[in-house]
Structure 1
Amino acid sequence: MSPRKSVAEALGTRAAILDRSVAIASAEGLEGLTIGRLAGELGMSKSGVLGHFGSKEALQLAVLDRAGEVFRAEVWEPALPAAPGLARLRVLCEAWISYLQRGVFPGGCFFVAAAHEFDGRPGPVRDAVESRFDVWRERLRKEARRAVDAGDLPEWTDPDQLVFELLGMAMALNHAIQLHRDPQAPDRARRAVRARLSPDL
């Protein structure tokens, strides 16, 4: 076997472990990941799974990275062609709602679930979850500020308050879909976004 093929196979195996781990963790939590379970489901030895990460914590952090890649592709990247500011905020919110409505992760929003699981538990995994929320809030805040500066939102709009409300909308939508199986929830979220991102407030 050539070294190049060996590296490619190792990367493919690692990707398969991460994809399965993301699916499990989205529904059962990051603590629900066990090396034994992953080994059984993927037809690998425990040492084979562990060899790609070194520890359960390292696996959890890698799973967060993989989930972040999915979220970015589903929500952030579709909005990049839109004009910065209000137009981009609207596209972001629609992509965000669609991501939740389509159940991209089996357990709903991966990061909402991870935040509930780790918000009261100190350590590297909690810090990593918080960091991802911080990055997302800052992206939303930057677009809100651009919208205000361009005159597309009222000058008295507080970007931090707007971001707080948009995050609340997404969490409420995730809750309504996952816990209540409410088919009307995505449309309610869209109406809330349209009302909040109206320049006529």
Structure 2
Amino acid sequence: MTVDGRLARGERTRTAVLDHALGLATSEGLDGLSLGQLAEALGMSKAGLFAHWRSKESLQLAVIEHARDQWTDEVIRPGLLEPRGVRRLWAVHDLRLAFYETERLPGGCFFANANFEFNARPGAVRDRLAVQLREWMAFLTGLAADAVERRELRADTDAAALAYEAESLAVCAVMQAPVLGAEVTFRHARNALLGHLRALATDPSILPEPT
């Protein structure tokens, strides 16, 4: 029981640190993270954090995985509860924007920020971010392709191009929202994809009307 209790406390500590680090990375940059900085912010000893991460890079990689888990919980899993086809593709886009609107991450989007930050920096962090981006784009492309195969989108629809358009709209919206206003920016991002999907849909009535 003592061992189990220690493991549980250790996992809670690890999660709390990663939650704080994830938010900080969106405002200060993933490269700006340090074990000392986190220890001071959380009132912990730096030595205690070394029990979880032995280097700055190992912390950065752990934050990426933590962000991936959060993304799965907030966007992917709820989206997969929607009916297969074009409605599922739309739901994922809508859920993504809804997550940004919660402002749980002060800098908007961890992955958009981190990809910009590390795009020209070779190394393990960039490599892991690249894997995540490829997986995400393959997921979006798969949703679009499934909608085509189910004949909910026109047969000549380019699934990869549609995934690129959805990604572009969301990234643009989250980057512009702090400057141009969240309400109008996210509404445009929703309506732009929704209008495009309705134009491609064989039965537009299964999708909501633009607002």
Query: One fold, TM greater than 0.5?
Result: yes
SS for the counterpart of 2:180 is: coil
Alignment of 1:144-183 (within 5 A): 144-183=144-183
Shift of 1:109: 0.8
> Contact 1:89/1:143 (CA < 8 Å) preserved in 2?
yes
Tell me the distance in 2 between the aligned counterparts of 1:163 and 1:187: 19
**1:101–1:177 Cα contact (<8 Å) kept:** no
| Larger displacement relative to structure 2 (56-65 or 26-35) | 26-35
Structure-2 residue corresponding to 1:24: 24
* Residues 108-147 of structure 1 mapped to structure 2, 5 A cutoff: 108-147=108-147
Q: Report the alpha carbon displacement of residue 36 of structure 1 after superposing the two structures with TM.
A: 1.2
- Which letter maps to 2:137? R
Distance (Å, rounded) in 1 between the aligned partners of 2:173 and 2:5: 44
With normalisation by structure 2, the TM-score equals 0.90
Question: What residue is the counterpart of 1:42 in the other structure?
Answer: 42
- Measured in 1, the distance between the counterparts of 2:151 and 2:16 equals 47
Tell me, in whole angstroms, the C-alpha distance in 1 between the residues paired with 2:90 and 2:50: 42
What does residue range 66-77 of structure 1 map to in structure 2 within 5 Å? 66-77=66-77
Q: 2: distance between equivalents of 1:192 and 1:151?
A: 21
CA distance in 2, matches of 1:66, 1:92: 19
> Which whole-Å CA distance do the structure 1 matches of 2:156 and 2:197 have between them?
13
Q: TM (normalized to structure 1)?
A: 0.95
Alpha-carbon distance, 1:178 to partner: 3.1
Number of equivalences: 201
Paired position in structure 1 for 2:4: 4
Q: Give the AA of the match of 1:128.
A: R
Partner Cα distance (1:51, 1:172) in 2: 39
Q: For residues 61-115 of structure 1, give each alpha carbon's deviation from its aligned partner in whole angstroms, at most 9, with x where no partner exists.
A: 0001111111111111111121222110011111011112222311101100000
Which ranges in structure 1 are unaligned for 5 or more consecutive residues? none
CA–CA distance in 1 between the matches of 2:109 and 2:93? 14
Q: For 1:47-126, list aligned pairs within 5 A.
A: 47-126=47-126
Deviation for aligned residue 1:19: 0.9
Q: CA deviation at 1:12?
A: 1.3
Q: Distance in 1 between matches of 2:65 and 2:155?
A: 36
Percent identity reads 34
- Give the whole-Å Cα distance in 1 for the aligned partners of 2:4 and 2:22: 27
Q: Which sections of structure 2, spanning at least 5 residues, go unmatched? A: 205-211
Change over 3 Å in CA distance of 1:97–1:182 after alignment to 2: closer
Q: Which amino acid aligns with 2:110?
A: F
Q: In the aligned structure 1, how far is the partner of 2:28 from the partner of 2:179?
A: 14
RMSD over aligned CA atoms reads: 1.5
CA contact (8 A) 1:107 1:178 kept: no
